[in-house]
Chain A
Amino acid sequence: MSQRKVNKSRDTRPDVSELEPAIKECVRYILCREGGKIPIKRGDINKHLNTVCQTPQNQVSAIIVEANKVLKKVYGYELLEVAANAGKQYIVILSQECKSILPPIIDEHQRKLLIAALMHIFMSGAPVKEEDMYKFLTDAGLLEENDHASRKLLTTTFTRQMYLEYSKVKVTESNVTRCEFTWGQRAEHEVSKLFLLNKMAEAFGKTPDHWCEQYKEATRET
């Protein structure tokens, strides 16, 4: 019975009317999960659809494709698959750049920390050493001497949200590991480097090409 259904949906156009409730549920689930900014696992979508709509596993891919269409048409969102250690994961970004106000539920201090960190990594043009990052943020008045909660934001929260990547690097000669920050996958997709450079230019009253190397980097991606 189910075999026949699948065949039918493959032969003709996907039988959307039959999957309609599951697609709606999938859209709703992604909308709710998105607020946390933590990548949504494919397995979680599977599980949710299976419990709520009794959707068989082999239809989930088709449902996600349809749900992505709805998300794009109605909300202007785009579901993006990101590389992960195990299984598929998705993040949600806007399908095109858009000037929006900061959502009220986002903590301003957190946002300042994130922007300063991303800015520093981008302008440095290389991975930023952990100590260097903390020193920079302290100089910027965003981090206190023993503010471990804020440091954890960087090493854990932003990393889970895929804004930053926090990795251990082995220094070969001395056999000591040190930690570095780089841009995470979400940052690469959500933030255009030219946008940051324009902010930089606005702040210091210069043209973006004042920072020659960064300008090259920023214009290369567009």
Chain B
Amino acid sequence: MSSFNETQRSSLGSHDRKLRYRALLEDLSTLESENSFNEDLMDKTASAVREAQTLLAEGGVEERVKHPGEGYLDSKVLRVASDVAVRVTESISGNVNTYDKHELAFHIRENPNFWCFALPREVPSVAFLYGTFAPTPPELRPRAPRRAVQRQQAQTLKAPENVDKLGKVEEGSQMVSRVNRFITKTYKQTNAPLSYFHTVLDPTSFSATIENIYYVSFLVRDTLISINLDEEFGLPFITPIPASKEKRDIGDENQFIVSMDRQRWQELIEAFGITQPMMVLKR
């Protein structure tokens, strides 16, 4: 009794499944005749195949043995589905393959001027028929200063004169160091500051006096000597600065020069009673 019931139920289930298989088949065949888009086709086919699969799982192995018709219908659904898939694939590859880039490239190579045109909504550029106004005058302007620069360079190349002058300066600095040596020597001998005017004044020559003033001013500038006003007489006296003494102690005042003309020179010589030049240098 129970086995009869089971058989009846299974045959009922099988019948139901067969009906659903048939419905799937019907759907798929109408799909084929419809002219819908590829994507729709693929979606519908996929869902049909999925349903067939669930139907198969519902039955189980035993059921399939009992009702071979189900297996037949299942395979038929798969077959139709694969047919649809093939058709869809063909249409895709067919669509894309109509464009052959080599063909187009060849055509462009052969007819380059065919492929040179204005674009439909392209704004035609506003331009002058013969280009812009001739820009020649502005071009000339930068050229002129360039030439001037070249000339200047040529002038600076005349160097030899400077070399002569350099030699003269050399001579001068030699004299300065001679004066320095004289002052330090005399200072060591007497161990007292030297009177500035006695040192520089030369009663035999006004120009030698001027030169002495000049050399001494250099020594002051180089902080080799210092000149201080004597408190008792109010007259300038020279003191050499030892080399060891640090220069920053000396302070900022490193200039000393006196103005001198012939009249003043004469007056000073008489005032100091100088008859002989104190400093005799080889000229």
Residues of B within 8 A of A104 (CB): 127
Whether A103 touches B95, Cβ cut-off 8 Å, given contacts A97-B121, A191-B120, is no
In the complex, the answer to whether B99 meets A103 with C-beta atoms within 8 Å is no
**Is B116 positioned at the interface, with any CB of A under 8 Å from its CB?**
yes
Shortest CB-to-CB span from B147 to chain A, Å, is: 35
In the complex, the answer to whether A204 meets B103 with C-beta atoms within 8 Å is yes
Partner of A34, one of B102, B104, B117, B125: B125
**Is A73 positioned at the interface, with any CB of B under 8 Å from its CB?**
no
In the complex, the answer to whether B115 meets A192 with C-beta atoms within 8 Å is no
**0 or 1 for each of A189-200: is its CB under 8 Å from B? (1 = yes):** 111100100011
Shortest CB-to-CB span from A23 to chain B, Å, is: 18
Shortest CB-to-CB span from A147 to chain B, Å, is: 15
**Is A86 positioned at the interface, with any CB of B under 8 Å from its CB?**
no
Task: Look across to chain B and name the residue whose beta carbon is closest to the beta carbon of A125.
Answer: B96
In the complex, the answer to whether A213 meets B95 with C-beta atoms within 8 Å is yes
CA distance A32 to B102 in the complex (A): 40
**Is B122 positioned at the interface, with any CB of A under 8 Å from its CB?**
yes
In the complex, the answer to whether A103 meets B118 with C-beta atoms within 8 Å is yes
Residues of B within 8 A of A35 (CB): 125-127
**Is A93 positioned at the interface, with any CB of B under 8 Å from its CB?**
yes
Residues of A within 8 A of B94 (CB): 212
In the complex, the answer to whether B118 meets A211 with C-beta atoms within 8 Å is no
Residues of A within 8 A of B116 (CB): 102, 108, 111-112, 115
In the complex, the answer to whether B125 meets A94 with C-beta atoms within 8 Å is no
Task: Look across to chain B and name the residue whose beta carbon is closest to the beta carbon of A206.
Answer: B98
Partner of B108, one of A32, A101, A116, A214: A116
**Is B272 positioned at the interface, with any CB of A under 8 Å from its CB?**
no
Task: Look across to chain B and name the residue whose beta carbon is closest to the beta carbon of A31.
Answer: B126
Residues of B within 8 A of A103 (CB): 118, 124-125, 127
In the complex, the answer to whether B123 meets A94 with C-beta atoms within 8 Å is yes
Shortest CB-to-CB span from A47 to chain B, Å, is: 22
**Is A176 positioned at the interface, with any CB of B under 8 Å from its CB?**
no
Shortest CB-to-CB span from A106 to chain B, Å, is: 7
Whether A102 touches B117, Cβ cut-off 8 Å, given contacts A124-B99, A211-B98, is yes
CA distance A141 to B108 in the complex (A): 8
Whether A191 touches B111, Cβ cut-off 8 Å, given contacts A108-B116, A123-B104, is no
**Is B134 positioned at the interface, with any CB of A under 8 Å from its CB?**
no
**Is B4 positioned at the interface, with any CB of A under 8 Å from its CB?**
no
Partner of A96, one of B99, B111, B121: B121
In the complex, the answer to whether B108 meets A105 with C-beta atoms within 8 Å is no
**Is A203 positioned at the interface, with any CB of B under 8 Å from its CB?**
yes
Residues of A within 8 A of B233 (CB): none
In the complex, the answer to whether A213 meets B96 with C-beta atoms within 8 Å is yes
Whether A195 touches B126, Cβ cut-off 8 Å, given contacts A116-B115, A140-B108, A214-B99, is no
Residues of A within 8 A of B127 (CB): 35, 103-105
**Is B112 positioned at the interface, with any CB of A under 8 Å from its CB?**
yes
Task: Look across to chain A and name the residue whose beta carbon is closest to the beta carbon of B110.
Answer: A141
CA distance A69 to B211 in the complex (A): 89
Which parts of B75-127 form the interface with A (CB within 8 Å)?
Answer: 94-96, 98-99, 101-109, 111-112, 114-127
Shortest CB-to-CB span from B245 to chain A, Å, is: 67
Residues of A within 8 A of B99 (CB): 123-125, 211, 214
**Is A98 positioned at the interface, with any CB of B under 8 Å from its CB?**
yes
Which parts of A143-187 form the interface with B (CB within 8 Å)?
Answer: none
A–B complex contacts, Cβ < 8 Å, 25 sampled: A31-B126, A37-B125, A94-B121, A97-B120, A98-B120, A99-B118, A99-B120, A102-B116, A103-B118, A103-B124, A112-B116, A115-B117, A119-B115, A139-B101, A139-B102, A140-B106, A141-B109, A142-B108, A142-B112, A190-B121, A191-B119, A199-B115, A211-B99, A212-B98, A213-B98
